[in-house]
Structure 1
Amino acid sequence: MKSPDIPKARGALPLVGHAPRLFHRPHEFLTALPDYGDLVEIRLGPVRAVVVCDPELTRQVLRGDRTFDKGGAIYRRLRELGGDGVITCTRDRHRRQRRLTGHALHSANLPGYAQTMTDQITSLTDRWADGQILDVPSEMLGFTMRVLTETMFSSALPQHALGDTVDDLVVIMRGIFRRSVMPAPLNRIPTQGNRRYQRALTHLRTTLDATIADRRAAPPEGEDLLSRLLSARDVADGGDGHGLTDREAADNVITFFVAGSETTANAVAWSLHLLARHPHIEDQLYTEVRQVLGDGPARYEHLPHLGLTNRVIAETLRLYPPALMFSRITTTDTQLGRHRILAGTTIIFSPYIIHHRGDLHDNPESFDPSRWESTSQPPVSHYVPFGAGPRKCMGEQFGITEAALALATITARWHLESVPGRRVRTAMSLNPHGLRMRVVARTRDADSAAKTAKS
C-alpha cells in the first residue's frame, strides 16, 4: 500500500521478488536503489516494501515513531527470541521500557563497565602468541560476549555457568539472522541447526529465570547491569511506579546481548582488517596509542586522548554499520517527501545506503578516518549507524567505548596482518566472514629500528 508513482526496482522474480539479489549481492543491490529516487519499491517474497534512500526522509522516519512504528518480518522473528524488549517492542510499550532500562546504560555507569572491558581485552590478548593465526570475528565475539556476561551478571553466576551462557549466546547469534530472513515454516523443521538453536534458547531462558529469581530474593551488594534493571522504577510523569516484570527483565537481558555483542565485535574486526590494508594509518594509530597508553592497556580515562582511535571506529561504522537495514510499519496514512504513504505500508531504511552515497560522502568506498576530523565531519543526517530519534540505540556509548578500548589495546601490543590467499566475504549480516589474521608481537626495539629505517 503506497503511492502509485513510487518507482519499482527492476529485476523482481516471480514469487521471490528481489530477495535473491538482496541475499546474495546485498551491497550492490542497495547502493543502486538511490538511482530510482528518494523512495523505491522492492518486493521480498509476497511483501512489498518502500525503501527510503534520502537522508532527510530517513530522519523523518526515525524521529516519527508514532507514525513509523517497529514492525515487519525481521522484528516478528526477533520477538520470538527477545520478546518485548526495548529494541523490539512497539511504540505503546517503548516509552516505559526505555525509562526502565535507560538507567542501566547511563553514561555515569560507563567507567565501571569500562574496567570490565579493559580486563577482558587484556585477558584475551595475553593469550595470543607471536605468529598465531586468529579467526578474528570469533575472537572479537568471544570478547564482547564475556564483557556483557561480566557486566550483566557480575559474580551472580559461577564461572562454568558464565561459560555456558556465552556458548548459548554464540549459538543464538549465529542462528538469529538466518531465522529472521527465512520463511517461518522452515524454522520449525527439526534440522540440526534449528534443534541446536532451540536448545540454546531454552537453556538461556532457564538460566535467566533462575538468576532473576535469585536476585529478587537476595540482591547483591554491587551494581551490575542486571541489578540496575531490576531496581529501576517508573517514577516519571505518567509512570506507574513499578519496575520490570521478571519476563520483561529477561527479554531485555537477551535484547542487550543481541544488540551489543556481534555489532561491536564486527566493528573491531573490520577496523583491524581495514588497518591492515592501510598500513600508514595503522602506523599513525600505533604512534597515538603508545603515546597515550604507555606500557599498559587502554582505560576509560584514556578515551578523550585517543582521537584517531575514535575516528577509525567512526569510519569503520560508516563503511560497515551494525545492520544493513531496518523496517517500520506505518500506523496511519502519511506523507513522505512528495509521496502519499498509506497505513500498513512496510518502510525500510538502510544506514548502508546513506553511508555509501557518493553525493553525500567523498569517495564513499574508501577508508578515510580523516573525514571525521572536526573541520570536515559529514552532517548528522548523513551518518546513522545507531539510528536517530526516540528509538536511537541506547547502547551506542557502551559499544563505542568497548570498541575503542579494544582497538587501542590490541594495536599497542600486536600488529595484525592479513593472511595471503584468504578472501574476506560479507553478506546481509555484515559479518567479515573468513577474516583470518596473523598476530605479530610488537617490541620497542623493533619499532625503533623500523622508524629509524623509514627516516
Structure 2
Amino acid sequence: MLDFAIFAVTFVIILVGAVLYLYPSSRRASGIPGLNPTDEKDGNLQDIVNKGSLHEFLVSLHQQFGSVASFWFGGRPVVSLGSVHQLRQHINPNHTTDSFETMLKSLLGYQSGMGGGATETIIRKKVYESGINNTLMNNFPLVLQLSEELVGKWKAFPDSQHTPLCAHLLGLAMKTVTQLALGESFRDDAKVLSFCKNHDAIWSEIGKGYLDGSLEKSSSRRGHYEKALSEMESVLLSVARERKGQRKQTAFVDTLLQSGLTERQIMEDCMVFTLAGCIITANLCVWALHFLSTSEEVQDKLYQELEEVLGSDPVSLDKIPQLRYCQQVLNETVRTAKLTPIAARLQGVEGKVDQHVIPKETLVIYALGVVLQDSDTWSAPYRFDPDRFEEESARKSFCLLGFSGNQTCPELRFAYTVATVLLSTLVRQLKLHQLKGQVMEVRSELVSTPKDETWITVSRKG
C-alpha cells in the first residue's frame, strides 16, 4: 500500500538533510535504466543544476528512460517513478515517519521524533495535526476577517490598476499563519514584517543553497542564513514561554503546550508549520487567482456555486465541504501549477516496481510534477480545467498522489481552507482579469512559484 501522506516540499531536504547524514549507504538499484554518474563525488548533481531544477531534470530523465528511471546523488543511486501505474505498485510500509517533517527537521538540525521510537513519533505527529485543525476551528473568524480586509483593499483600486498577486498573497498568508500559529501579538505589522524577513532568508536557502552547494561555499550567505534561523528560533521560544500557563488557548502553539512536548520540540513544530504553512498557502492562492483570471467561465461557475451554497452569508467552516466546485478549482490549481512537484521516501524494505527490484534504503523519488502532466492520466494535461475532477478516475489519481483525502498533509489542508475563504469572499464581489502580454514563467523548485511578480486587474461585479 502506498504512503503518499505528505506531499514533499523538498528533494533537497531529503537528499542532503537525511540521506547524506541520517541513513547508511544503500545497494545499487541494479537493472533500472538511467544515467551513469557524471562526477565520482557528486553523481548527477551538476546535471540537475544545469537543467535549472530537479523537476526539469526529472522530466528529461523520464522522457529518456521511461517511467522508472535512476540517477545518482553523490555515491548513492536514486530511483524515480514517473507514472500513476508505477506509483501504485510501489510498496513502502513505513507509516511511522513523516517524510516532510523528518526531512525538513533534519535539514534544520532538529530531531523528528520525541526520542522514544515509533510510537512517540506517531503521537507527536497526531499532536501536530490536531494543533492545526484546532487553530482553524478556534480562529476561523480571523481567517475570514483577513481575507475580507484584502478584498476590501482591492475593491478600492481603480479598475485599471495592476495588482501584484505574489506580494499581496504572501502578506495574507504571513498574517494568517503567524496569528493562528503564534497568537494575537502578531497583529502587530512590524512584528510580522520582521518574521517575514527571517522566513524568506531561511526558505530561500532551503530552496537553492543546499542543492548546488553554494551555501557552503559562501561564508556570508551561510552567516546570513544562520542568523535568520537563530532569530526565528528565539522568537518562537519566546512566544512559547509567554503563552505557557495562560488561560486563553486558541493558537497552534497552545495545543503544543498542552501536549507534554518539551520547549525545544514545541519550537521545532512551530518552525515547521510557519515555514511551510506560509509558502504553501501563499503560492496556492497566487496560482488559483492567476488561473481564475484566465477564465471568465470558471469564475462564473464558481460564483454560481457560492451563491447557491452561501447566499448572502459569509463562508463558514461547516459550509466548506459543500463547495465542491471550489474544491475542483483548487485541485486543478495544484495539478496545473505542479504546486509541489517532488515527493520522496526512503525504501523501508526491499520492493519491486514492474520487473525492477528496489533495494532496501534506496531513496525513491515520486516525480509528481511529471505525473501531474502525464497525458496517459490527464486529458489535455496543460489546460486548466476544473471540470476534469468531476470524473472519479481523476479524483482517485489525485488522492493517490497525496493531494486529497485522509492522507493529505496538514499544511496543505490548512492552505486549502485559507484559499477557499479567500475565493468565496473575492469572487462574489470582484471579477479577475488577466494582464495582457504577461508571460508566466514557473520556478519548479520546492514549491512551484512564479518566476516574476504576477499581475492581474480587478473590477467590481455589477
TM more than 0.5:
yes
Q: 1:214 to 1:111 in 2, by over 3 A?
A: closer
Describe the SS at the equivalent of 2:207: helix
Q: Report deviation, 1:443.
A: 3.4
Is 1:174 the counterpart of 2:204? The answer is yes
Structure 1 residue identity aligned to 2:128: T
Q: 1:155 to 1:433 in 2, by over 3 A?
A: same
Candidates 129, 132, 140, aligned match of 1:102 = 129
Contact 2:347 2:361 in 1 (8 A): yes
Candidates 251, 254, 260, aligned match of 1:224 = 251
Is 1:350 the counterpart of 2:367? The answer is yes
Q: 1:427 to 1:436 in 2, by over 3 A?
A: closer
Q: Report deviation, 1:93.
A: 5.9
Q: Report deviation, 1:68.
A: 9.1
CA distance in 2, matches of 1:417, 1:62: 45
CA distance in 2, matches of 1:339, 1:126: 56
Deviations 1:189-246 (A, max 9, x none): 233x544433322111111111112223x323232211011112xxxxxxxxxx2111
Q: Report deviation, 1:118.
A: 1.0
Q: 1:58 to 1:320 in 2, by over 3 A?
A: same
Q: Report deviation, 1:426.
A: 1.0
Q: Report deviation, 1:248.
A: 0.9
Contact 1:323 1:351 in 2 (8 A): yes
Residue 191 of structure 2: aligned partner? 161
Q: 1:94 to 1:331 in 2, by over 3 A?
A: same
CA distance in 1, matches of 2:96, 2:309: 47
Q: Report deviation, 1:437.
A: 2.0
Matches within 5 A, 1:26-105: 26-27=55-56, 29-30=58-59, 33=62, 36-44=65-73, 46-55=75-84, 57-59=86-88, 61=90, 64-65=93-94, 70=99, 79-81=106-108, 83-85=110-112, 94-105=121-132
CA distance in 1, matches of 2:206, 2:439: 24
Q: Report deviation, 1:256.
A: 0.9
Contact 1:354 1:383 in 2 (8 A): no
Contact 1:149 1:166 in 2 (8 A): no
- Root-mean-square deviation (Å): 3.4
Candidates 120, 130, 141, aligned match of 1:115 = 141
Q: 1:248 to 1:345 in 2, by over 3 A?
A: same
Candidates 234, 239, 242, aligned match of 1:211 = 239
CA distance in 1, matches of 2:193, 2:206: 20
How many residues are paired up?
A: 425
Contact 1:319 1:365 in 2 (8 A): yes
Q: 1:93 to 1:153 in 2, by over 3 A?
A: same
Describe the SS at the equivalent of 1:116: helix
Is 1:424 the counterpart of 2:424? The answer is no
CA distance in 2, matches of 1:167, 1:222: 27
Contact 2:55 2:342 in 1 (8 A): no
Q: Report deviation, 1:177.
A: 0.9
Candidates 41, 52, 56, aligned match of 1:23 = 52
Q: Which moved more, 1:162-171 or 1:312-321?
A: 162-171
Contact 2:68 2:80 in 1 (8 A): yes
Contact 1:77 1:179 in 2 (8 A): no
Matches within 5 A, 1:300-339: 300-339=317-356
Q: Which moved more, 1:206-215 or 1:283-292?
A: 283-292
Candidates 369, 375, 400, aligned match of 2:386 = 369
Is 1:289 the counterpart of 2:306? The answer is yes
Residue 237 of structure 1: aligned partner? none
Is 1:245 the counterpart of 2:262? The answer is yes
Residue 173 of structure 2: aligned partner? 144
CA distance in 1, matches of 2:428, 2:404: 33
Residue ranges of structure 1 left out of the alignment (5+ in a row): 233-242, 445-455
Deviations 1:277-304 (A, max 9, x none): 2222223223333555555654334424
Q: 1:34 to 1:360 in 2, by over 3 A?
A: farther
Contact 1:41 1:50 in 2 (8 A): yes
Describe the SS at the equivalent of 1:300: coil
CA distance in 2, matches of 1:257, 1:70: 17
Residue 457 of structure 2: aligned partner? 439
CA distance in 2, matches of 1:412, 1:226: 34
Residue 124 of structure 1: aligned partner? 150
Candidates 194, 219, 230, aligned match of 1:202 = 230
Q: 1:438 to 1:364 in 2, by over 3 A?
A: closer
Is 1:394 the counterpart of 2:410? The answer is yes
Deviations 1:23-54 (A, max 9, x none): 25834742761663442112345543100224
Q: Report deviation, 1:417.
A: 2.2
Q: Report deviation, 1:60.
A: 5.6
Structure 1 residue identity aligned to 2:424: A
Residue 18 of structure 2: aligned partner? none
Taking structure 2 as the reference length, what is the TM-score of the superposition?
0.80
Q: 1:383 to 1:410 in 2, by over 3 A?
A: same
CA distance in 2, matches of 1:291, 1:353: 37
Q: 1:120 to 1:346 in 2, by over 3 A?
A: same
Deviations 1:346-387 (A, max 9, x none): 2111222222221112222221111112x5442524545546
Contact 1:58 1:349 in 2 (8 A): yes
CA distance in 2, matches of 1:68, 1:85: 9
Contact 1:311 1:369 in 2 (8 A): yes
CA distance in 2, matches of 1:371, 1:264: 23
CA distance in 2, matches of 1:25, 1:330: 20
Contact 2:104 2:272 in 1 (8 A): no
CA distance in 1, matches of 2:135, 2:182: 15
Residue 380 of structure 1: aligned partner? 396
Contact 2:181 2:274 in 1 (8 A): no
Residue ranges of structure 2 left out of the alignment (5+ in a row): 1-26
Identity %: 19
Q: Which moved more, 1:398-407 or 1:331-340?
A: 331-340
Structure 2 residue identity aligned to 1:97: R
